[in-house]
Amino acid sequence: MIVNRQRRLRAPIKELTAFLARVQRALHIAGQEVTVALVSDSEITRLNRAFRGKDRVTDVLSFPANGMVWKQGKQTKQGSQRNHSLASLASPASSASYLGDIAIGAGVARRNARRNGRSFRDELRVLILHGVLHLLGYDHETDNGQMNRLEYRLRRRLGLE
């Protein structure tokens, strides 16, 4: 499921939802549910501060349903509660088929798209793929390039590069 929780930028929700389904099929997790929320710069900054201890804007954050959160380049146990702000958008945490939540800073995505010479739509697609890989446990900060190699292969396969 993809929801637009910010008001500044329009996003092609149906198209992004179809892309998310393609990502899930490519990664053999088609039965797993994911919620992607497009949020404002202030909200993504708040989430980054609360869950990663970094008081700055970012483009994408992932919140695995297994209670792990990304913190300082490592997955750490959050505890038994799903208390981040995206939880109310998704299926119950107890659902075995629920993979987790992804927050995307829409304003950051638009700025990154311009800087990277791609469309806003394609930048959102890149961030969805990146976020899903984090939900699966990949960590580009510590895995010696494993996540980056997989991500670039999938980008080509999904028509993003």
The string of pLDDT tens digits covering residues 82-117 is 344 454 444 444 467 899 999 999 999 999 999 999
Average pLDDT, the chain: 86
| Region for residue 117 given its phi and psi (left: phi exceeds 0; alpha: psi -120 to 50; beta: otherwise) | left
| Average pLDDT estimate for 24-48 | 96
- Whether 110 contacts 18, CB under 8 Å: no
Of 30-39, 63-72, 74-83, 142-151, least confident by mean pLDDT is: 74-83
Higher per-residue pLDDT: 21 or 89: 21
Instruction: Give the per-residue pLDDT at 84.
Output: 45
Bridge partners, 62 (sequence order): 102
CA distance 85 to 78: 14
Residue 79 pLDDT more than 50? no
* Sign of the four-CA dihedral 112, 121, 46, 143: negative
pTM, 2 dp: 0.84
Give me the CATH topology for the region 2-157. Answer: Collagenase (Catalytic Domain) (3.40.390)
Q: What angle do CA 65, 60, 73 make, to 5 degrees?
A: 75
- Whether 39 contacts 103, CB under 8 Å: yes
141 burial level (CB within 10 Å; 0-12, 13-18, 19+): exposed
Task: Give residue limits of the domains in the chain.
Answer: 2-157
Residue 59 pLDDT more than 90? yes
Read off the pLDDT band of 142 (50, 70, 90): confident
